[in-house]
Each structure stands twice: as C-alpha cells, then as structure tokens.
C-alpha cells in the first residue's frame, strides 16, 4: 500500500494494530523520511458517543546551516479529534480550512519565526 502526495510516494513498511508506518524515497539508515498514520477508537459514555482520534506524523532529516550539528529532524504532526456522527461535509470543511491555514503565509511565518501573536 502506498500514499502519494506532492509527487512523493510513501510505501507502507510496518503494520502495528492501529498504526501504519510508511517510508519515503529519501529514507536511508541515517536519513529519516517517515510517515505514520494512527487511530484511536471513540470511547463512548452513557451520555456521549465519543470522539474518534487520528494522527498523521511526517518526520524528515535535513541538512542544517549554522547549527551546532550538521543535520536535524523536523516533525510535523497533525492530531484530529472528531465527534462520532459528524457530517461528511463538516469533515471536508474543517479539512479545507486547516489546509488553507497550513499552506498560507501566516502559518509559514509562524513556523519560521515561532511567533504566536500577530
């Protein structure tokens, strides 16, 4: 099984219950190019159906300029908690909104400068 995005292919490497680890083309013994997808089932109570949780985690090794070490790993993790029964259209809308945020200039500035107040 493979996932393809931005012209990059990640191939399933290991399966462990509710986690699947994928490796990208740049993966070597010393270079990380890893993607992990995970899920946690909803935990219902007597008054609430619960939330299903999912996570996507992308880890890559980069060459560093001006750092104390020649390489370092970046980690980009997305955690999502959705209530049982949410409409498909609502999931599409929140995904579109977060996609626009993450790909926008304000979020990139946030990552590059570590500022949280504009």
Q: Judge contact between 34 and 23, C-beta under 8 A.
A: yes
Mean per-residue pLDDT, 76-103:
97
Assess whether pLDDT exceeds 90 at residue 98: yes
In angstroms, rounded to a whole number, what is the distance separating the alpha carbons of residues 33 and 31? 7
What is this structure's pTM?
0.89
Instruction: Calculate the alpha carbon distances from 46 to 40, 49, 50, 82 in Å.
Output: 19, 8, 10, 18
Per-residue pLDDT, 118: 66
Looking at residue 117, its pLDDT comes to 81
pLDDT at site 116: 87
Neighbours of 3 (CB within 10 A): 15
Which residue's structure tokens are 């949780």?
A: 53
Give tens-digit pLDDT for 42-74. 999 999 999 999 999 999 999 999 999 999 999
Across all residues in the chain, what is the average pLDDT?
A: 96
Query: What is the per-residue pLDDT for 112?
Result: 93
């Amino acid at each position: 099984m493979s996932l393809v995005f931005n012209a990059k292919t990640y191939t399933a490497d290991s399966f462990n219950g509710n986690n699947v680890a994928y490796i990208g083309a740049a993966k070597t013994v010393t270079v990380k190019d890893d993607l992990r997808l995970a899920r946690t089932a909803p935990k219902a109570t007597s008054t609430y159906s619960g939330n299903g949780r999912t996570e996507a985690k992308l880890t890559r090794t980069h060459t560093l300029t001006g750092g104390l070490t020649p390489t370092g790993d970046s980690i980009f993790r997305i955690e999502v908690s959705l209530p049982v029964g949410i409409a498909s259209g609502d999931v599409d809308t929140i995904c579109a909104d977060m996609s626009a945020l993450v790909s926008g200039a304000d979020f990139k500035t946030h990552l590059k400068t570590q500022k949280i107040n504009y």
